[in-house]
Amino acid sequence: QVRLVESGGGSVQAGGSLTLSCEISGYNVNKYSMAWFRQAPGKEREGVAALYIPGSRQYYAGSVKGRFTISQDIATSTLYLQMNSLEPEDTAMYYCAADLGVLPSTIGLMKLSDFGNWGQGTQVTVAA
């Protein structure tokens, strides 16, 4: 079991940038595949970006490709989500998630059910 704590959220103007961080603590934290999800008011939680640790494979939702970058710092057990060219549609609560059992064949789908460890979220608000 691991603990995840997100930070870095805030309010920015459209076109701006923001970097989210997710500090991970627990047992064998660097063996966990990681992902960022987001949930806007009245909408279901959706996958944004995922990282499969064994091959460092990155996956992105079509809506954020080219604008967001997921990365990790193994030394500090921190997951990042660099967000550029932010749009009002990016406004949501952003959550980081982790799991040891995510398969390479499914991680790109960013299924909620594949991740058993979640942070409490950090709010991102993008003004038009």
Asked if 8 contacts 42 with a C-beta cutoff of 8 angstroms, the reply is no
pLDDT value of residue 53: 80
Q: Which two tokens stand for residue 111?
A: 């299924």
pLDDT value of residue 97: 97
pLDDT value of residue 101: 87
Using CA atoms, how far apart are residues 125 and 18, in angstroms rounded to an integer?
10
pLDDT value of residue 74: 87
pLDDT in tens, the chain (128 residues): 799 999 999 999 999 999 999 999 998 887 889 999 999 999 999 999 999 986 778 999 999 999 999 999 988 999 999 999 999 999 999 999 999 988 889 999 999 999 999 999 999 999 99
pLDDT value of residue 11: 98
pLDDT value of residue 21: 98
Buried/exposed code over 18-49 (b: 16+ C-beta within 10 A; e: otherwise): bebbbbbeeeebeebbbbbbbeeeeeebebbb
Using CA atoms, how far apart are residues 19 and 113, in angstroms rounded to an integer?
26
Angle, CA 25 vertex, CA 36 and CA 95 arms, to 5°: 20
